[in-house]
């Protein structure tokens, strides 16, 4: 494996997708070979799993927490085999919108015990771990206000996004993300996500660029001609 795996994590509305696009654009301008992908739904089959997970069934039935957990891992196993491992083997920088820590935060907050999470992680990821995880940290009240959509088939989303139960669920999810960062400070970099997107973007770049540089990627600006280029 020659590439670099960078994952982006955070609660809904933390701006992961915006920041991934901005980072991707920055890397494109610098000619860094990279791939942007996401979970759930980073493969053709995974897109089917994503639909099953995030769209409420006409019957009103919702997933049992254990079924939901296994669907996220089914998606991840396929994503690793079909997309992530081949890209890393080809030496690419792989940027993933949500990965393993989302399961630990969300399904952990839904009551799945730690040892079950560890077991499935070891089965599906084997020894692979992200080289870096960017945690975009935000208060749940702000994230939920920002997020425009609802994933209404998931346990945390059964109520409207703005009610106390939903906020409480996301508070627990956020705390779990922060605990992961505390446990693995060498892997997880916390970037406050409350600021203006340009400020957050600079924070993301401060977290990501040293890793890329030390991994042999050419991340300096191609030209100093324009002072406005990022």
Residue 180: which residues within 8 A CB-CB, separation 6 or more? 101, 104, 105, 133, 135, 188
Cβ closest to ligand TYD, residue 17 vs residue 160: 17
Residue 171: which residues within 8 A CB-CB, separation 6 or more? 140
Cβ closest to ligand TYD, residue 30 vs residue 152: 152
Nearest to 177 by CA among 132, 137, 150: 137
Q: Decide if residue 106 touches ligand TYD (CB under 6 A).
A: yes
Task: State the pairing for strand pair 93-97/188-192.
Answer: unpaired
Of these, 40, 42, 46, 130, which contacts ligand TYD (CB under 6 A)? 40
Query: What whole-number distance in Å separates Cα of residue 181 and Cα of residue 228?
Result: 34
* Residue 180, token pair as written in the block: 């992961």
Per-residue contact track with ligand TYD, 143 to 172, x per CB under 6 A? --------x--x------------------
The sign of the CA dihedral 158, 160, 163, 166 is: positive
Per-residue contact track with ligand TYD, 48 to 67, x per CB under 6 A? ------x-------------
Of these, 7, 43, 92, 103, which contacts ligand TYD (CB under 6 A)? 103
Q: Decide if residue 39 touches ligand TYD (CB under 6 A).
A: yes
Cβ closest to ligand TYD, residue 72 vs residue 177: 72
Give the footprint of ligand TYD on residues 164-223 (CB under 6 A): none
Task: State the pairing for strand pair 132-137/93-97.
Answer: unpaired
Question: Residues interacting with ligand TYD, by CB under 6 A?
Answer: 12, 16-17, 39-40, 54, 72, 97-98, 102-103, 106-107, 151, 154
């Amino acid at each position: 494996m020659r590439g670099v795996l960078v994952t982006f994590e955070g609660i809904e509305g933390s701006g992961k997708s915006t920041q991934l696009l901005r980072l991707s654009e920055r890397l494109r301008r610098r000619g860094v070979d990279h791939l942007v992908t996401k979970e759930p739904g980073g493969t053709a089959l995974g897109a089917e799993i994503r639909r099953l997970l995030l769209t409420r069934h006409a019957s009103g039935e919702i997933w049992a927490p254990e079924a939901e957990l296994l669907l996220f891992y089914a998606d991840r196993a396929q994503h690793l085999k079909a997309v992530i491992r081949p890209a890393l083997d080809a030496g690419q920088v792989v940027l993933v919108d949500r990965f393993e820590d989302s399961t630990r935060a969300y399904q952990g907050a839904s009551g799945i015990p730690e040892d079950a999470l560890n077991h499935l992680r070891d089965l599906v990821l084997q020894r692979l771990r992200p080289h870096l995880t960017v945690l975009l940290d935000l208060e749940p009240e702000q994230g939920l206000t920002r997020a425009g959509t609802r994933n209404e088939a998931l346990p945390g989303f059964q109520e409207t996004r703005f009610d106390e139960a939903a906020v409480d669920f996301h508070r627990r999810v956020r705390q779990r993300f922060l605990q992961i960062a505390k446990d693995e400070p060498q892997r997880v970099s916390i970037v406050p996500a409350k600021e203006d997107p340009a400020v957050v973007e600079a924070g993301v770049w401060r977290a990501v660029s040293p890793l890329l540089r030390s991994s042999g990627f050419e991340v300096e600006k191609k030209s100093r001609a324009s002072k406005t280029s990022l």
